[in-house]
Amino acid sequence: MSAEDRRSLHAFRDYVVKTLDPTYILSHMAPWFKDDEVQHIQAEKNNKGTMEAASLFLKFLLERQEEGWFRGFLDALGHAGYSGLYEAIETWDFQKIESLEEYRSLLKRLQPEFKTTVNPKDILPEISQCLISQECEEIIQVCSNKGLMAGAEKMVECLLRSDKENWPKTLKLALEMEESKFSELWIVDKDAKNVEPKVLEDDEMETSDIQIFYKEESECQNLSQSSSPPSAASPTCTPLKPRNYQLELTLPAKEGKNTLICAPTGCGKTLVSLLICEHHLKKFPQERKGKVVFFAIQLPLYEQQKSIFSDYFEKLGYKVAGISGVTAETVSVEQIVENNDIIILTPQILVNSLRNGTLPSLSVFTLMIFDECHNTGKNHPYNMIMFNYIDQKLGGSSDPLPQVIGLTASVGTGDAKNTKEAMEYICKLCASLDTAVIATVKDNLEELEEVAYKPQKFFRKVESRTTDRFKCIISQLMRETESLAKSIFDELGTVTLENVSQIQNRSFGTQKYEQWIVSVQKACMVVQLPDKDEESRICKALYLYTSHLRKYNDALMINEHARMKDALDYLKDFFADVRSAGFDETEQDLTRRFEEKLKELESVSMDLSNENPKLKDLSFILQEEYHLNPESRTILFVKTRALVDALKKWIEENSELSFLNPGILTGRGKTNQNTGMTLPAQKCALDAFRTDGDKKILIATSVADEGIDIAECNLVILYEYVGNVIRMIQTRGRGRAKGSKCFLLTSNADVIEKEKINIYKENMMNESILRLQTWNEAVFKEKILQIQMQEKFIRDSQAKVEPVPDKENKKLLCRKCKGFACYTADIRVVEDCHYAVVGDAFRKCYVSKLHPKPKTYGHFEKKAKIFCARENCCHDWGIHVKYKTFEIPVIKIESFVVEDIATGAQKLYAKWRDFPIEKIPFDATEMSK
């Protein structure tokens, strides 16, 4: 057993904890474990759970000093049947186990359906090879003693720990053999796996919600519909059968005019774009073909539109292809554009291709279509593309520019306070898109209203709890934690907790407090002391205090909008995670303080008199609406993922509402709390809601704002949920069945007032569009031109001056523990954008862990992630790659504090481009020294 093996086992401990039930191998490890330790581990499992027991087992294991314990551990895994974990630890390659994570996440989400639809006894013989023999025995025992549903729960628990690479597929086959309904939800196809946009430094940085697009009848009528098999399909395509209002929307574009098309969500703008695209391509003579590019912002929308365009246009003899961040590194953008008639792109692909010269200019296209074009502003990729367009237009180039079409449900009004300002805002959007025509439905409004029904809107103001003992207790814990943090600042003597951040008048349980905590954490990262060990201790303590304050704040926000029980469960889960991690003295003290209040918190949370009045009103709305229409379909919008989970539990545990059988839909991105739903899980949730009559309600975050459509949905509830006028139109557009209703439920009068302002702004937007449509087209074009010239002048005058490279050597310190990492003199730039550290010294400062998503990009092979090697830190520093024939660590600057060696001054940088470091190119000859 080498020190490196011990370090690696510690680094990969999370995989072991998730997979291993230590009680199954303890009998094989008798020589290395004392009786009291075995009993302690068994008690930990009985009282707290398997993961806690596994964590304790590893703690004891890593303390072993006796010869042969590591080999004994591997042998015990083999004897017990942990073949996957055995292989992973022996090779320190956890890729196969990591690849199962998305299926574990999916199974967790689908556990309620599994429990009620799967007979564990029927499928156990088929999946027993994926489980430990003792687990199979326990499942049979639970089925006999507690019933099939309890047995199904136990089976899920065991599958979530399975280390067998093939268990998802084996489960699928077993379900299909038994013709189980759950088989339809259990997706194991390769194409169903989650895909990520290209990010070389870190795949886990994504935080934005992703959108899911589902076709509705009016959106895709007659597209790719055929009663004959593919082999018998006619070489000609059935003509599209558009509605009159859709034809009306196409008219300016068919005349070759740059057009912004504004029409309600669900009216079939995709069909409108197909009509425009087909007309455009057909007008070109045979010797000079047109070339169309269609932009979709999000990956699921890109995939959907690519499929629709391919199905329709390939039958007409046109070539269709697509490029997204997923495929960009494996295809030639230049060849795809050259060899196809229609190209579907995520916009950043074109931005990069114009920037690096892969495509010379936008003149290679004859038509550009921007979906969700209201995003064309600031530094959005749409605007970056149109900067190129406008520069070419105003630069007097003789090359022809493509026609531009924008599609949106709402152009918005920005910060406009009156119609004049709103008209100016819309003119700026038109100038950004170079569109002098705004197309809306006027002549066929009745037909449009038959398809895109505008739901009736209701506002419900409810009162908050009159007394809130839970909030009082948690607030007291927060004050104590703040005092502990203040005492640390008192030790420093140079700055106080109060003046470390500019954010004032903060209150517990608010978004403003969350912002304050984040700003304090950043300030704590650059605290400096002469004694570096003391600096590390203080920075880490402040990090822990602020992290706990953040969790308490989250719990108060859950308590405000859901049950006290849900807020308390949230905190219990957090402290369980704290216990299973490093659990140093600071964490032990904070945990003790919480546990001293736990009994009182549990008592308060179980008191029925403390029920949240908002939930009473929400229950009343749901019961009333389902009494009037038992077939109602509801989308309940909430602000956070934690609230999604809390309201799901509340509905399931409420005897009057449990018939709703709620589904959930959240974003895919990672937040400070957790990772979101995988793409397959999102699709499963939507499929279940659309096709399963028992799933009567979908609880969703902003991921469902745009892109999804469920024609049967007739009730939308906005639960403390409000945004700008564009979001209001999008969320309201989720309910489009006749007789639809939209409720806004809040205890905050300001929220209702904001939504009323949005309604006013929507009317102002519509009025502004009508006024602009009365303008003479030449006058509108001149207005657009003046805005473009003014914006270009501002853009050019604000062009960033290249900073002078800083050649002074500096230190990079870990942003979490302030431990030394490397010198800037050891950093080399690889292929202009990746920052690698050379030299042997840096290797001692980090530990590596197999990358969960190894990929190859050009000359790079992403192999592992690297973390700070200091005890109880493990801060994420970047990745380990194979570049050509060289193994090199690539770091991300946001993981470090930069310290000036001469002055000791410390700075934080979010991106490498913000850090004016001297860029020393990577030199292969250095590696051979």
Q: Give the distance, in angstroms, between the CA of residue 669 and the centroid of all CA atoms in the same chain.
A: 1
* Percent residues over pLDDT 70 in the chain: 85
Rounded to whole angstroms, the Cα distance separating 122 from 128 reads: 11
**CB neighbour class for 467 (10 Å; exposed up to 12, middle 13-18, buried from 19):** exposed
525 pLDDT tier (thresholds 50, 70, 90): confident
Q: Tokens 């196969």: give the residue.
A: 96
Mean pLDDT for the chain overall: 82
Long-range contacts of 526-532 (CB under 8 A, 24+ apart): 526/897, 526/906, 526/907, 526/908, 527/492, 528/899, 528/904, 528/906, 529/492, 532/818, 532/820
Is there a binding annotation on residue 220? Answer: no
Largest CA distance in the chain: 91
- Mean pLDDT, residues 388-415 taken together: 92
Query: Looking at residue 476, what is its pLDDT?
Result: 95
DSSP states of 710-778: -TT--EEEEES----HHHHHHHHTT--STT-EEEEEES-HHHHHHHHHHHHHHHHHHHHHHHHHTS-HH
CB-facing half-sphere around the CA of 719: CA atoms within 13 A: 29
Is residue 261 over pLDDT 80? yes
> CA 20 → CA 79, 411, 852, 889, distances in Å?
13, 54, 19, 31
Q: Tokens 């908002």: give the residue.
A: 614
Is there a binding annotation on residue 237? Answer: no
Give the β-pairing of 292-295 and 367-371: parallel
509: phi > 0 → left, psi -120 to 50 → alpha, else beta; which? Answer: left
Q: Give the distance, in angstroms, between the CA of residue 569 and the centroid of all CA atoms in the same chain.
A: 23
Rounded to whole angstroms, the Cα distance separating 340 from 332 reads: 12
Q: Which of 575, 511, 606, 258 is nearest to 403 (CA)?
A: 258
Is residue 401 over pLDDT 90? yes
Is residue 376 over pLDDT 50? yes
Rounded to whole angstroms, the Cα distance separating 639 from 645 reads: 11
Q: What is the CA radius of gyration of the chain?
A: 30
Q: Tokens 């657009």: give the residue.
A: 784
Q: Is the distance from CB of 785 to CB of 436 less than 8 angstroms? A: no
The total number of residues shown for the chain amounts to 929
pLDDT in tens, 561-613: 999 999 999 999 888 877 765 567 888 899 999 999 999 999 998 888 888 89
211 pLDDT tier (thresholds 50, 70, 90): very low
3-class SS of residue 343 = strand
725 pLDDT tier (thresholds 50, 70, 90): very low
pLDDT in tens, 85-144: 988 888 887 888 888 888 887 888 777 778 778 888 888 888 888 898 888 888 988 888
The token duo for 547 is 């992290």
3-class SS of residue 552 = helix
- Helix ranges, 119-213 (H): 120-127, 133-146, 148-161, 167-177
Is residue 218 over pLDDT 60? no
pLDDT in tens, 323-344: 987 677 678 899 999 999 999 9
Rounded to whole angstroms, the Cα distance separating 483 from 497 reads: 9
Rounded to whole angstroms, the Cα distance separating 139 from 134 reads: 9
Is residue 201 over pLDDT 60? no
Q: Is the distance from CB of 322 to CB of 343 less than 8 angstroms? A: yes
Is there a binding annotation on residue 684? Answer: no
pLDDT in tens, 413-433: 888 889 999 999 999 999 999
Query: Looking at residue 224, what is its pLDDT?
Result: 33
The model scores a pTM over 0.75 = no
242 versus 495: the higher-pLDDT residue is 242
Query: Looking at residue 133, what is its pLDDT?
Result: 84
Is there a binding annotation on residue 868? Answer: yes
- Give the list of residues 6+ apart from residue 385 with CB closer than 8 angstroms, or none: 295, 347, 350, 351, 354, 362, 368
